[in-house]
Amino acid sequence: ELDTIDRVLLTDLTLAKAWRDVGVLVDWAFPPLQESKAAQICWEEARSLSYPFDGITVRTLNELGHVLRYRDALSQPLSIALGFGFNLRNSEAFREVARWAKKIPIVRVALSVECTEEEVFSFPFSDVEAEMLYFGPAPGMLLRHCPCALLKICRDERHCASCAYRREMFLVDRYGKREMVRRKGYTELLSPTRVDLRNGSVLLSRIQPSWLRVVDVGEETGDVLEMIRRNHAG
């Protein structure tokens, strides 16, 4: 199934070498919501692994600032992708990013999952490439605070690795059951909403993005990737 994958997006860089060894490019999902010292530690961890990535995806301006600060440490040119957290969904936003790309190495931007098929906007394909979420959970909410800390009366993150609440924890709201994932000093509430464009989309047909993102959800993922390769390659 490797021939159905062009690039993987990883939060855990210890997995990067295995992917690169089989010829798959790696993007590092830079940890969001990091303060300056924490961002430095993340970068030092990447250095200890010899910077095993081919590009970096950032979710907010905060991460973009950290990446621009440390990029000179790399021996190779860096490509940056702006993720779904930028919520780009109109012509002016895309044109502004195109202007940024003339000064910093932005090569790809993710269209907001909130874009509707009825919205009309232009995209500057000559400057940056577009990415759309094709299959998988929509991006979730990010929290600095861990909701489980209220149950355990935690005051820091020293025991996160062994926390009994680390896995199989959910928050239930009017939108459904949201899984909570804690990593690198933040909690992500995964969205109960799943995007699935296998049956087509007016917006997908109109934009024809260069990149389609598939979130690994298990056994079904392979079938989705094969369908993309069969119907959208080239």
Q: 3-class SS at 19?
A: helix
pLDDT of 123: 79
Which residues of the chain have a pLDDT value below 70?
Answer: 1, 125, 166-168, 233-234
Query: What pLDDT is attached to residue 9?
Result: 96
Return the DSSP state at 38: H
Residues contacting residue 10 through CB under 8 Å, at least 6 positions apart:
16, 19, 26, 27, 28, 29, 53
- In angstroms, the CA 217 to CA 73 distance is 34
Q: pLDDT per residue over 128-163, tens digit each?
A: 999 999 999 888 888 888 878 877 788 777 777 777
Residue 160, number of CB atoms within 10 A of its CB: 17
CA distance 14 to 11: 9
**Per-residue confidence (pLDDT) for residue 107, from 0 to 100:** 95
DSSP class of 31: P
